[in-house]
Structure 1
Amino acid sequence: MAQLIKLQDYVSRYAQDIYLYPSRYVRLKKKQWEGLKEKWETGPVESFQNVMEQQGDKQPSTLFQKLKHIVRQPEEQQSDPVQEHTPVSADDQEPFMDPRSFHSISHIKTEDALKKHFLDELFPFQLKWASSTLTERSFVAKEYTKDPTLKFLLQRFPDTFLVLYKPIFLLKKAPVEAELILITPASAICISFIEAEEDAVFVGSKERFWTKKTKDRETKILNPLIALNRTEKIVKTLFDMDGVELPVQKLLISRSGFIDYPMRPYGVQFIEKRSFEDWFMSLRGMKSPLKHMQLKAAQVLLQFCQTTSVRRLEWENSPGDGQ
């Protein structure tokens, strides 16, 4: 599963230490999958606590006991691929999935079905990591918990792909909403999706509005390249400022329709219904591990993202706050 490192303007633990959390996520995900698969193969589960104890995760009884386990890792990792030597932390103590997920697998007949169950149960955890830290949290809009495009991206791409989903950048004290940014080990890809009815045709031009044609009607839509070009400009500018040497690509995608643009503009690739599967499989097949330059690129972008959050309740009432 791709990793959601930024969602809108929500607080993200990846922004605290981009060199630590991506590989920690991969390790915890692998541990949880192995535990779930073992229980599915061996029969009914006794209790979630037993599962976690067998995996070596005995949860501390209080938040402040969790803090005793936190040891930060220095950020000077310069080698490719990125290797992690991660100490135990409070993140290791929280399960990836709702405990009830371990009790709802007896009806699953195949390993493929089990994998789908695992990915579906993991999705809420990804939203949690992209909207909370140990001390702060943001309130996730319901639309993202059911967003099919976001779920598709996270569930179908490799763990080494980092996703900024509609991030809000703070540039010259002004918030600017961007399109999707996918950071792979090889490039940063700015993506706009134009989704409509099956076999819809989008007639493009340099004008402010495009035409969307379906079987029985025509409607105007805002030129999607406007936001896409803005996103590319932001990414390239920030990369240039910090010496990030990572190619930046620009894609306009219609998974169920077609794009009709006779004189296609330079520098943007159109991916439509007839070419989507080939593009998707080529990207999905990328086996490269996390790279240092990839993480540096993510760090640079996260530094300029706006964050809106509140302190978590347990910290508001914690000793030392003068309460």
Structure 2
Amino acid sequence: MLPIAQLIKLQDYISRYEWNTYRYPTQYIRLKNENWNKLYSVWMNSSLQELAEPSEAELESEQQMGKFSKLKAKLKRKQKEAESYPETDSDSEPEANQYADLPETEEALKQYFLNKLIGHQMKWATSTVSSTSFVDRNYYSDPLLKYLLQGFPDTYLIMYFPIFAIKKAPIETEILLISPIAIEIVRFLEENPNSVIMAGDERTWSIETGNEQKKILNPIIGLKRAERLVSSILASLSIDFPIKKTILSRTNSIIFNTEPYNTRIAGKKDYADWFKEKRRLTSPLKNIQLKAAEALLKNCQTTSIKRPDWEKDDAPSTVSDLEE
């Protein structure tokens, strides 16, 4: 099946996952798979129809033309039946949906489907049945967010720079990747491809580009702060779940003497290994994983408004609602 991680929290926007953390991850995977199978069936039928197109020589006689017209009409009917999903009030069934202008290759079809899912994921991560948040439209085209969602398996739950509310004080943290086996706190460093990142032991690191040098705050400081926060939330509920810290760069080498304790550093030479390691994880969703995610979501800050009555959903959205 297509890998597509789940966006369970985006900044301080209201999320359907915080409304029911145990229901939505499994429901999303099921609906995603159902809709991919339906789309693939529609695409296959379209391809078969194109293969059935006769040559000019085969269309010379009226009899042949008549046979072809009947065959083409039959194929069109089958395609329309495949594209028409029955309307239902149940969450378990997709809503009616039409896919037009499908790509020619299977790989392009997969990317088409994944791109459609981004909009749907944003909907689930910024609204519930009765409430919604005002969303910065830049998140819909955020390349890093899209990369994370389309790069990891379904069982990865992503909190994208969540804002926690600790003693009524908002605290923005790093990206959290919640897999079935651990919570990974991630910081990406993306500089000029010609730059080299020099890790230090003090409060600053250096970015060297030719003869120029600039200082940045040591990213480990933010990772440690996020680790302490996440650890305290889990400990308060007696949840024992591993926490890791990771610094990544897809574009730059990171030079360091020794890797900090419980912190992985992967520059552009090592990044591919880290990425493959995450994608190879085949474990299903775990109860302890969902329990940890629920605890974190309940301690996040949420900013939203009530939807007007005429905009309220009768039921949670399904993945087939890809156009919204």
TM-score interval, normalised by the smaller of the two chains: 0.7 to 0.9
What does residue 244 of structure 2 align with? 249
How does 1:18-37 map onto structure 2 within 5 Å?
18-37=21-40
Aligned-partner residue type, residue 141 of structure 2: K
1:3 aligns with 2:10: no
Distance 1:48 1:237 in 2: 55
Task: Tell me the TM-score normalized by structure 2.
Answer: 0.81
Going from structure 1 to structure 2, the CA distance change for 1:211 and 1:94 (only over 3 Å counts) comes to: farther
Distance 1:46 1:313 in 2: 40
CA RMSD of aligned residues (A): 2.3
Q: Secondary structure at the match of 2:270?
A: helix
Going from structure 1 to structure 2, the CA distance change for 1:201 and 1:46 (only over 3 Å counts) comes to: farther
Distance 1:241 1:140 in 2: 31
Q: Is the Cα–Cα contact under 8 Å of residues 195 and 255 in structure 1 kept in the other structure?
A: yes
1:271 Cα offset (Å) = 1.1
Q: Is the Cα–Cα contact under 8 Å of residues 162 and 184 in structure 1 kept in the other structure?
A: yes
Give 2:43's match in structure 1, choosing from 25, 30, 40: 40
Task: Tell me the TM-score normalized by structure 1.
Answer: 0.81
1:178 Cα offset (Å) = 0.6
What does residue 176 of structure 2 align with? 181
1:208 aligns with 2:211: no
How does 1:83-122 map onto structure 2 within 5 Å?
88-89=90-91, 92=93, 99=97, 102-105=99-102, 108-122=103-117
Distance 2:160 2:254 in 1: 23
Which structure has more relative contact order (CA 8 Å, sep 6+)? It is 2
What does residue 58 of structure 1 align with? 87
> Percent identity over the alignment?
40
Distance 1:216 1:143 in 2: 34
What does residue 219 of structure 1 align with? 214
**Structure 1 unmatched runs, 5+:** 60-65, 67-87, 319-323
Deviates more, 1:134-143 or 1:162-171: 134-143
What does residue 231 of structure 1 align with? 226
Going from structure 1 to structure 2, the CA distance change for 1:204 and 1:52 (only over 3 Å counts) comes to: same
1:222 Cα offset (Å) = 2.1
What does residue 259 of structure 1 align with? 254
Q: Secondary structure at the match of 1:151?
A: helix
Deviations 1:174-220 (A, max 9, x none): 00001000010111100011111214211122333221112353222
1:273 Cα offset (Å) = 0.6
- The size of the alignment, in residue pairs, is 282
1:313 aligns with 2:308: yes
**Structure 2 unmatched runs, 5+:** 50-75, 314-324
Going from structure 1 to structure 2, the CA distance change for 1:46 and 1:130 (only over 3 Å counts) comes to: farther
